[in-house]
Structure 1
Amino acid sequence: MKSDDQVAVKEIKGGYFFDGPGDDKAMIFYPGGKVETKAYARLMNKLAKEGIDTFLLNMPFHLAVLNKNAADKIISKYQYDTYYMGGHSLGGVMAIDYANDNSEKIDGVFLLAAYPNKKIDGHFNVLSIYGSNDKVLNMKKYEKAEKNYYEQFIDYEKIDEISSDLFTKNIYKDIIIDGGNHASFADYGKQKGDGEATISVEEQVDRTVEEIMNYVVNTSIEK
C-alpha cells in the first residue's frame, strides 16, 4: 500500500487512512472475517481517488464482530460532513449493525456480499452488492433479510416517483455483478466454497466503485 500523486496512504491507530482529493465524504470499512486487512487496499484506493476518503480498519483476530464499534474512534477524531459505513461479508454485517445503532452519524451503508442480521430501524441509505458467482453468500438468508429487515426502505428504482419534498433517506438498492464472486472484492485469492469468477479482481473492484459512486450521487441530491 503506497501513496501516489492522488491518494496519500497513512497507517493510523487501528488501521489505514486513504486520503484522496475529496474532503467532505468518508467511508469506514470493516474487512471480511479472517481476511487480511491490506487485501482491501485496491478498493480503498480507488474510492479515495473518486472523492470518498476511506478508513480501512484492523479487527481483532480479523473478526469485525469483536470490535463492532471501531468506527467510533474515527468519527470522533476526523471531521467529515458525510460518513458511510462499508463492509465485506461478516464485516458488512457488523458495519450495518453499527449504522443501525448510530444512524445519526451515518448517511449510508455499502454492503459487499453481506446482509443485516436484524431489522433495520435507522435512517440511512443502503447499497448492497454481490457477485453472480458467489457461492459463499447464503442467498436464502440474504433474500430473507431483503424481505423482512428493510420494511421502511424505498426501492431505489422508484425514487423518481417520490415526492420532491421527501428527504432522501432509507433508499435501498441491490446490485449483482455479473461474473463476480465472493472473494474478488479484495486481493486474497480463492476462498473455500466460492464460485469461480469469470471477471478479474480489477474488474469487480472497478464495477463496485462505479456503483458506489453512482449511488452516492443519486441519493445525495434533493428529489
Structure 2
Amino acid sequence: MAVIWENKWKILLGIILAVIAIVWFILRPYPAGDAAKAALEESAVMEASVHDAIRFIPDEEPLAHLIYYPGGLVEEEAYSYFGEAMAEAGVDVWIIPMPLNLAVLGSSRAEGVLESVGEAPVVIGGHSLGGAMASRFAQEHAERLAGVFFHGAYPDEGGRLDETDLSVLLITAQNDEVMSQDSYREGLGYLSAGALEEEIIAGNHASFGDYGPQRGDGEAGVTHEDAVVEIVDITIEWLTTLR
C-alpha cells in the first residue's frame, strides 16, 4: 500500500511541476534589450510610491506628464529608451510596471501618478494590451486627463472615449502582424472623429519597445532607435496642441 501511495505522490508531483513549467513558459516576459537597459541605468528614477514606476524627468518644467502602460508580457524596462528620449524632449515620463507583466491586472495603477504630477497636461497610453487598458483608465478619469495615445493598440468597448473631450493619438506600424487590423478598425468606432492616426513606415509591433522579435510579428525594416525618433517627434507635436 505504501508503494502505491508513493507512486501516486510522484505522479501528482510530476503533474504539478509540469503545470508550473507550462505557466512559466506562457507568462515568461520579453526582456528589455541593450538600448533600453542603457537608458534605464543612465537616466531613470524609481518611484517606489507608484508601484516602483520607472520615471524619466526632464531638466526643465515639463511640456506634459506622460503615463505609459507596457504591452502584454513585456518588461516595463523595455520602454526605457522611449522614456529617456521623451524626457530629453521635455516630457515627464512614468512607465508603470504591471502584475505578471499584464496591464489587465493593474489598469488602475496610474492613479498614484495623478496624485504626484504638476500643472502640465497629463496624458496616458501604452503599447498593445497596455494601450487598451490605458483607455479604460482614461474613460474613468477623463476629467483629470488631457489625452490618450495608442502604440500598436486601440480601445475596446470598455475603454471607449467617444463621449469624452480627450485628444487621441494612434501610432501604428506598417509591418505590424500582431495587432488585428479588423479589431483596430472596430476600435476606431469607439473614438471621436478627431482622433489623429500616424504610421511608422517599416516598423512592426515590437518597434515600440526594445525587447527583440515578437512571436507572430512582421519583420521590421527600421531599428528600434530610429522608430523611437519618429514616435517622439509625432508625440511631441501632438502634445504641443494640448497646452
Range of TM-score over shorter length: 0.7 to 0.9
Of 194, 198, 218 in structure 2, the residue corresponding to residue 195 of structure 1 is 218
TM-score (norm 1): 0.85
Instruction: Give the Cα separation in 1 of the matches to 2:46 and 2:92.
Output: 14
More helix by share: 2
What is the aligned-residue RMSD (CA, Å)? 1.3
Are residues 1:133 and 2:209 paired? no
More strand by share: 1
Of 153, 159, 175 in structure 2, the residue corresponding to residue 114 of structure 1 is 153
Are residues 1:153 and 2:193 paired? yes
Instruction: Give the Cα separation in 1 of the matches to 2:117 and 2:239.
Output: 20
Partner of 2:32: none
Partner amino acid for 1:134?
Answer: D
The alpha-carbon distance between structure 1 residues 22 and 126, as it changes in their structure 2 partners (threshold 3 A), is farther
* Deviations 1:25-72 (CA, angstroms, capped at 9, x unpaired): 210110000001100000000001111110011100001111111110
Of 2, 5, 10 in structure 1, the residue corresponding to residue 45 of structure 2 is 10
Identity %: 33
- Aligned length in residues: 197
1:67-78 aligned at under 5 Å gives the runs 67-78=106-117
Partner amino acid for 1:90?
Answer: L
* Deviations 1:167-205 (CA, angstroms, capped at 9, x unpaired): xxxxx1111111000001111000000000001111111
Instruction: Give the Cα separation in 2 of the matches to 1:101 and 1:22.
Output: 30
Instruction: Give the Cα separation in 2 of the matches to 1:33 and 1:125.
Output: 24
Structure 1, unmatched stretches of 5+, are 155-171
Partner of 1:166: none
Query: How far 1:100 moved relative to its partner?
Result: 1.2
Are residues 1:62 and 2:96 paired? no
Are residues 1:103 and 2:145 paired? no
Query: How far 1:109 moved relative to its partner?
Result: 1.1
Structure 1 or 2, whichever has the larger Rg, is: 2
TM-score (norm 2): 0.78
Structure 2, unmatched stretches of 5+, are 1-39
